[in-house]
């Protein structure tokens, strides 16, 4: 029988959303990172996809929910529920299509309308088609002070690195939220956990009273 040390303890749960125009490769990036692990779960109410992943961050087990637009970006504006409780955002553009890069400013404006403080990065996808694009300067990320990655969903370049770093940043944000609403939600979550622990202790005491032979 496995010991308690063999059972991973779930320390945190984080939500990471992906933004960008249609066909920039958002879903492909998630699938490349998760490989055989990925099994998208459709969220039918809003026509979105949810990818679940278990990660290790600083020896802690983290449940990660990756949210994918699943074509909703065609309607120009995402449903507010897409942003709700998100802890980090990955914005993607296609290096072959200039309009997808220009539209980053629209996506970023909408993101900050709903999630003004969460960490965000900019991802230049499909560099495998023309490697010379990695020599170009993309100033949007620099102007906004955002991390920038050249990646390829096709051959995997920088995909794992980018996702791991964003999971870490999502964890850091959840532990130290800079948004007032998030701080309130975190306090409520902590209160709920403390209440559940107290309830569990009370139930144990009740069982002991009813069964005196128990230690």
Those residues with Cβ within 8 angstroms of residue 214's Cβ, 6 or more apart along the chain or in another chain = 207, 208
As a whole number of angstroms, the distance between CA 84 and CA 47 comes to 16
As a whole number of angstroms, the distance between CA 83 and CA 59 comes to 28
As a whole number of angstroms, the distance between CA 106 and CA 31 comes to 25
Confidence of residue 73 (pLDDT cuts 50, 70, 90): low
As a whole number of angstroms, the distance between CA 145 and CA 124 comes to 16
Strand runs labelled E in 69-119 = 88-94
pLDDT tens across 116-129, in order? 999 999 999 999 99
Percent of the chain with pLDDT over 70: 69
pLDDT at 6: 44
Query: Domains (ranges, CATH) in the chain?
Result: 9-180 (3.40.50.300)
Structure tokens at 16: 């990471």
Which range, 31-35, 74-78, 84-88, 190-194, is most confident? 84-88
What is the distance, to the nearest Å, from the Cα of residue 26 to the centroid of all Cα atoms in its chain?
13
Q: pTM above the 0.85 mark?
A: no
pLDDT tens across 112-166, in order? 999 999 999 999 999 999 888 999 989 999 999 999 999 999 999 999 999 999 9
Where is average pLDDT lowest: 61-65, 151-155, 200-204? 200-204
């Amino acid at each position: 029988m496995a010991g308690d040390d063999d059972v991973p303890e779930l320390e945190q749960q984080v939500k990471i959303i992906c933004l960008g125009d249609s066909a920039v490769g958002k879903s492909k990036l998630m699938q490349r990172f998760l490989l055989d692990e990925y099994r998208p779960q459709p969220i039918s109410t809003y026509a979105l996809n949810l990818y679940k992943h278990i990660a290790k961050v600083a020896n802690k087990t983290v449940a990660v929910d990756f949210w994918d637009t699943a074509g909703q970006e065609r309607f120009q504006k995402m449903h507010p529920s897409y942003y709700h409780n998100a802890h980090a955002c990955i914005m993607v553009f296609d290096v072959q299509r200039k309009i997808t890069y220009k539209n980053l400013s629209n996506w970023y404006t909408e993101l900050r309308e709903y999630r003004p403080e969460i960490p965000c990065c900019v991802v230049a996808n499909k560099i495998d088609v023309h490697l010379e694009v990695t020599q170009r300067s993309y100033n949007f990320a620099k102007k906004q002070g955002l991390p920038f990655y050249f990646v390829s969903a096709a051959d995997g370049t920088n995909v794992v690195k980018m996702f791991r770093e964003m999971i870490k940043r999502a964890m850091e944000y959840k532990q130290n939220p800079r948004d007032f609403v998030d701080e309130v939600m975190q306090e409520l979550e902590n209160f709920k956990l403390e209440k559940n622990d107290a309830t569990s202790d009370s139930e144990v005491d009740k069982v002991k009273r009813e069964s005196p032979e128990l230690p």
